[in-house]
Chain A
Amino acid sequence: MQARYSFFSLARNALGYHENWPEAWRSPEPKASYDVVVVGGGGHGLATAYYLAKEHGITNVAVIERGWLGGGNTGRNTTIVRSNYLWDESAALYEHALKLWEGLSQDLNYNVMFSQRGVMNLAHNQHDLRELQRRIHSNRLNGVDSEFLDARGVKEFCPIIDLRQGGRYPVLGASLQRRGGTARHDAVAWGYARGADARGVDIIQNCPVTGFRISNGRIQGVETGRGYIEAKKVAVVTAGHSSVMAGLAGFRLPVHSLPLQALVSEPVKPVIDCVVMSNAVHAYVSQSDKGELVIGAGVDKYVGYGQRGSLPVTEETLAAICELFPIFRRMRMLRQWGGIVDTCPDASPIISKTPVQGLYFNCGWGTGGFKATPGSGWVFAHTVANDNPHPLAAPFALDRFTSGYLIDEHGAAAVAH
């Protein structure tokens, strides 16, 4: 039985020297068979399992993770959450996610530290300004909060930004989504895991899925490091490894896997209280509750699986940060890492049924899927439960690559994170 988390339970447990806290989730042996097996214990997979149980009453579910929960991109990203996407289809999906974020800690009874500190996208030239305006107009009509700040407004919102004329690319303005912000990435995985577990979902770590059993075009189950597991339906949510998984199921995905890197500085007292993103000089930054500057960089320009990222990208990113914030040149990089992002040709995700009956894929979130986590889980659970895409997921089906109904967020999404 799970304990409810609250200030009172914390105080009560303090008296018992915290010896009596129950496990946040169990670690059961896999059963022989499940109604749904979710492959991949990242945020999206865990959210899928949670909403399958909570919204669709499907509780005979296992989440199968080859390593540790949240060890993929969920635990590596720079945690920016926003919904100010250009296209209607994207805006609807990410805005649905943002609404879920707004009540997520309470829903999960786990503080995911969602902090709506505001996300600013900077414009550095006339072209940026035009694109920004376009996005703001369409955001508004889509019910996504979005406002324009001129250079003065930018400075007011983020006083440490440098607007001196000596800079290479002056800041001309920005779009601001005040409801955007950051969240604690690990807590998202753990909170969903705990919530799913409480509803009966089995969470199985250290268990790679190594193959699919398919007969007559229908999924039968998965081969895993811990033996065969039968499943009526299999939902694959494996981010950077999705093309590998599709290969195992006998089809191909239009997905490129690229290393995307990020880094943090040493912790300092609060110095920046919002998220700043810039496309033209390519960098984005926020400050974690611990005090570290969390800085996102670009992708390596070649396909790879090394979760590290190359030096030139680090250099370019920090040069850009030093340009926007010359006060940060004496800050120091504490830790740098990378994650493998699965990118689609149109920079939009795939949430879809597949050529195999009962096998579903949710991937292609590329450099920006953390913000979608609750929404992605929500619509994917619906899709799996009903064997029919959720209306918000329908435009993101695989067949768009054959129909040509692409949702190209490249040009318009400013930084694609």
Chain B
Amino acid sequence: MAQSAPAAARSSQPFRLSEGGRIDRSRSLTFRFDDRELTGHPGDTLASALLANGVHLVGRSFKYHRPRGIVTAGAEEPNALVQVGRDPRTEPNVRATQLELFDGLGVSSQNRWPSLEFDVGGVNNLLSRFLPAGFYYKTFMWPAAAWETYEKAIRQAAGLGLAPSKPDPDHYDKTFAHCDLLVVGAGPAGLSAALTAARAGARVVVAEQDFLLGGDLLSDRTAKIDGRPALEWVAEAEAELRASDRVRILTRTICFAAYDHNFFALHERVTDHLAPADRPEGLPRHRLWKLRTKQAIFATGAIERPLVFRDNDRPGILLASAARSYLNRWGVRAGSEAVVFTGNDSGYATALDLKAVGVRVNAVVDLRAAAEGPLSEAAKAAGLRILAGHAVTGTEGDKRIARLRAAPLDADGKGVRGSGQEIACDLLVSSAGWSPTVHLHCQAKGSLAWDEAHACYLPDRSMQKGQAVIGSAAGAFGLASCLAGGEAAGREAAGALGLEAKASRKKTQAEDRDFLPMRQLYCVPSDKPLGQGGKHFVDQQNDVTAADLLLALREGYRSIEHVKRYTTTGMGTDQGKLGNLNAIGIVAERLGLPLPEVGVTTYRAPYTPVSFGAFAGRDVDALLDPVRTTPIHSWHERNGALFEDVGQWRRAWYYPKAGEDLHRAVAREVAATRETVGIMDATTLGKIEIVGPDAAELLNRVYTNAWSKLEVGRCRYGLMLKEDGMVMDDGVTSRLAEDRFLMTTTTGNAAPVLAHLEEWLQTEWPDLEVFLTSVTEQFATMTLSGPNARKLLAELCDLDLSTEAFPHMSWQEGSVAGVPARIFRISFTGELSYEINVPAGHGLSVWQALYRHGEKYGITPYGTEAMHVLRAEKGFIIVGQETDGSVTPLDLGMDWIVSKKKDFIGRRSLSRSDMADSGRKQLVGLLTQDPKVVLPEGGALVEAMRDATPVPMIGHVTSSYWSPNCERSIALALVKGGRARLGKTVLCPLEGGKTVPCTVVEPLFFDKEGDRLRA
């Protein structure tokens, strides 16, 4: 890939090396950072391109608004967060270190005003002495009412980027996947595991967050495998894996969550890296993978830890490994004069690489009294100036580090001697050691073991079967160990899958470089006491210092969780990937405890942040939930119906004619139904077929009334209770055959009722031989209701419909408009009614035939609203309206339906003392004393109104309508001791102080004898 750069591009990228790196120098990409136009190359991240242009200042910190630069080269980046793109496609808080460059990319810096260079919020830095951790808990309390004013200012100052302000035009997708082995991380360990298992025949998914495979090898200029540059081995491995149809490689994909039983969630960024014009139409922006695997291998690498020293947050201060990545992977030097500050040998790798490309390395400051690892020896040989047993005690520089001081360390590491020497530099890199990325292992509840020698936590035991951690994620920091560990794990996974991994042709050859021994200082002392001049940042994003941690401990917040919550350390968008171990170390030291006794904070999903859109996938806008419509829906639409949502169903609500409002339309529909004939689409009512020798027995147990004696061909109304004796559902059930019933449920409860029955059948009554099938959608149901219903139906039906041949509460099979139908003579309106069930596919044509033939009678389609009025005139309840989970059948005055002889769900609850209390709320009717006034549904009822609250309430209005047939308003209500109040007056207070007096009556307003029903 390395080609010589066009001259122009080179000069505009003064810190780009003339060669090297995994970038395509043949092409230049233009991008914009705030108001500067800059260039980079394909293969760059925003961070590498900014550094190539010498841009270090990229953001302002959360609390103090201090100037901040790029610290890392990966997912752990705390500072370099930018706002990408423009509304509506803008995205806040994107890590510059992971943002792939494309032509035309536009980003802006965040959390600064008016500009990054000059940020007014910077005064917070001057006031920082008054803003230690938790300062807000101690103040802003006076006067009490002022908090929300203070809070506004605090909120304005907090937050990082900006949320988009317009709906996201992009789409997202989700998919399921199954495999034998999931390998997370495609560094040397992961690749060698994947190769081994794939060769044995396993179906493998490799997930890599980066856009290139190779992991740490991408940043290594000297590593060799089998005597050749390591990246050649990576390329061959990738080619072999890509060639296999058993292997899927997912790049730009983080495995962000581990659930039980080897279920994982992965987040793939599909098109973010492309210039908007190049994004293929059909591809989603992101994809959520829900992956179930038999085996999982976490080869997730390790993250370098920074040293915590005074003023360690200036732009130009990077992780040693990051500086090395920029150099080797992107051909970018992060500065011209460098100082390396380290407590282990890996800092030297960076020092040597920097020197090799001509960066002046002014010093290597080594915490260790004697530098004696293999790399430090090499550094000495290369003539680097090594300050052993020294510490960086402070830095200076306004928007970029300019110089630092280094002084000799005390033997115990608690102090320094003298004020040390000044060293100029524009780049300071630090390394405290490495923290294995154990997040997934820990999310899966695996345990950790503390490794004192490497000062890190290593994965210990996995809690889930078939999981392994390998490579530097398991503390195997050398290349040879990674390769060997990968191969062994791949072999073991294959074995567990019952596959045989052939011994590889020859062992992959590489070298381990050991970084030992190291010296760990969680907090590097300076010549001033901690917190008194200068700041030792532990969490750069949240501006948490070592002094803040000590303050928390001083104030008694000792648990590491309290320290975290009090100071907010580790709670930024990097979730403590850089800072947590340092924080724990500082806390342990101050408490005088061994570090493992302090514990760790819980590793929570996601590993890195995941877009909401990916979780929602295609379940957005109209697709959030399925819309269920009946086979007759198109007719309702054509005939001007307005619809209401009832659960997932869209039901015809009313059918206004020109100039009609709800009130008028409903009045017309109701009157027509009582006077001639109405037709309603009742398809949405739940229908459950109950089949088996114990079908009647099941009904006996779940309904309050008895079913054994119901004859075939007859229908019965049933009430279903919860265990607590409260009404859960109601409906008519018909006996189709000796061993076969058809149960109807309310529209909204169809699924819950089925689940309820199944749960009882499966967990409590497995001995019952009954099968349940939902048949709601198999039938279209239409109700003909009204005095002319019989006449009309007779025109189209082959049955004798006379009351003698076809009485109320019976059903028959026949044909309607030439279509086989089940006809139920049941009524929810109080009129002569037939519910006609036909196969769903015939629904529309039968409806149309009925309508056509009904026109001469003035047939009127009526919607749910008219149906509510009609049934209320008859005092029929609607579950969920007259009931709310606190109403028993007795409260409804439905004692007649509660069997005293048999057991049923809820029966015992009905014998509790409170159930017999005469003060319980009971269903009654209400007539306003002014018949024109319609009560508000939901209105509260009182005996007497008063000004002082609480006003004792005696109940509420459950249903309330204008009744055209009664020519007045009617209402149903639940009222305490309601039946004893018949004839008495209660008041319904309205908003604004008015009260409506009403008389309590029986809940039955129309055709009290029920003659019409049985006509």
Contacts and interface: CB of A to CB of B under 8 A. Distances in A.
Contact of A124 (B165, B167, B645): B645
A140 interface: yes
Contacts of B166: 327
A334 interface: yes
A132 B938 CA distance: 8
B175 to A, nearest CB: 13
B938 A133 contact: yes
Nearest to A270: B155
A9 B138 CA distance: 9
A93 to B, nearest CB: 12
Contacts of A406: 724, 726, 886
A318 B938 CA distance: 31
Interface in B89-146: 89-93, 129-130, 132, 135-142, 144
Given A141-B951, A332-B610, A111 B624 contact: no
Contact of B160 (A105, A267, A336): A267
Contact of B621 (A115, A168, A184, A314): A168
Interface stretch (B67-75, B314-322, B601-609, B702-710): B601-609
A268 B92 contact: yes
A68 interface: yes
Interface in A85-115: 88, 91-92, 102-103, 105-106, 109-111, 113-115
B578 to A, nearest CB: 16
Contact of A134 (B90, B653, B956): B956
Nearest to B909: A404
A166 B164 CA distance: 20
Interface string A140-181: 111100000000000000001010001111000000000000
A268 B989 contact: no
A135 B565 CA distance: 37
Nearest to A310: B259
Interface stretch (A10-18, A236-244, A352-360): A10-18
A31 to B, nearest CB: 19
A270 B937 CA distance: 38
B451 to A, nearest CB: 25
A246 interface: no
Contacts of A19: 531, 554
A319 B159 contact: no
Contacts of B168: 326-327, 329-330
Given A186-B565, A289-B151, A330-B611, A323 B130 contact: no
B622 A168 contact: yes
B884 A329 contact: no
A269 B161 contact: yes
Contacts, number: 336
B88 A327 contact: yes
A19 B590 CA distance: 14
Interface in A264-283: 265-271, 281
A68 B561 contact: yes
A408 B886 contact: yes
Nearest to A166: B621
A23 B138 contact: no
A138 B940 contact: yes
Given A291-B158, A322-B620, A334-B575, A137 B938 contact: yes
Contacts of A251: none
A291 B568 CA distance: 13
Interface size range of chain B in the complex? 35 or more
Contacts of B556: 23-27
| Chain B interface, >50% SS class | loop
A330 B89 contact: yes
Contacts of A9: 138
B5 interface: no
Given A137-B938, A270-B159, A329-B620, A143 B949 contact: yes
Contacts of B881: 127, 130
Interface string B612-625: 11011101111111
Given A138-B953, A162-B167, A269-B156, A10 B531 contact: no
Contacts of A124: 645
A251 B311 CA distance: 59
A411 B138 contact: no
B893 interface: no
B734 to A, nearest CB: 27
Interface stretch (B28-36, B795-803, B910-918): B910-918
B721 interface: no
A333 interface: yes
Contacts of B260: 306
B980 interface: no
B912 A111 contact: no
A321 B720 CA distance: 35
A327 B163 contact: yes
A332 B609 contact: yes
A38 interface: no
Contacts of B880: 127, 411
B281 interface: no
A72 to B, nearest CB: 11
Contacts of B531: 17-19
B605 A336 contact: yes
A102 B611 CA distance: 36
Contacts of B532: 17
Interface string A387-415: 00000000000001011111010111000
Contacts of B144: 102-103, 105-106
B172 interface: yes
Interface in B239-283: 257, 259-260, 263, 265
A141 B993 CA distance: 11
A315 interface: yes
A326 B616 CA distance: 11
B461 to A, nearest CB: 18
Contacts of B92: 266, 268, 331
A314 B615 contact: yes
A334 B913 CA distance: 51
A328 B162 CA distance: 11
A393 to B, nearest CB: 16
Given A116-B148, A141-B953, A167 B624 contact: yes
B551 interface: yes
Interface in A183-225: 184, 186-187, 190-191, 205
B902 interface: no
Interface in B615-654: 615-617, 619-625, 627, 644-646, 653
A150 B1 CA distance: 62
A112 to B, nearest CB: 8
Interface in A356-398: none
Closest 8 CB pairs of A and B: A291-B159, A143-B949, A134-B938, A404-B912, A133-B938, A326-B167, A332-B609, A329-B613
Given A21-B551, A291-B159, 17 more contacts: A68-B561, A88-B950, A110-B137, A111-B137, A141-B951, A167-B624, A168-B627, A169-B624, A315-B174, A318-B615, A319-B617, A327-B163, A328-B163, A330-B170, A336-B604, A402-B913, A403-B914
14 contacts: A124-B645, A133-B937, A137-B936, A140-B940, A266-B93, A267-B62, A267-B158, A311-B290, A331-B612, A335-B575, A335-B606, A345-B724, A405-B914, A408-B886
Interface of B: 62, 88-93, 129-130, 132, 135-142, 144, 147-148, 151, 154-156, 158-168, 170, 172, 174, 257, 259-260, 263, 265, 288, 290, 529, 531-532, 547, 551, 554-559, 561-562, 565-566, 568, 573, 575, 602, 604-606, 609-613, 615-617, 619-625, 627, 644-646, 653, 723-726, 748, 880-881, 884-886, 909, 912-915, 936-940, 942, 949-951, 953, 956, 989, 991
Interface of A: 5-7, 9-11, 14, 17-19, 21-27, 67-69, 71, 75, 88, 91-92, 102-103, 105-106, 109-111, 113-117, 124-127, 130-138, 140-143, 160, 162, 166-169, 184, 186-187, 190-191, 205, 265-271, 281, 287, 289-291, 306, 308, 310-311, 314-315, 318-323, 326-337, 345-346, 400, 402-406, 408, 410-412
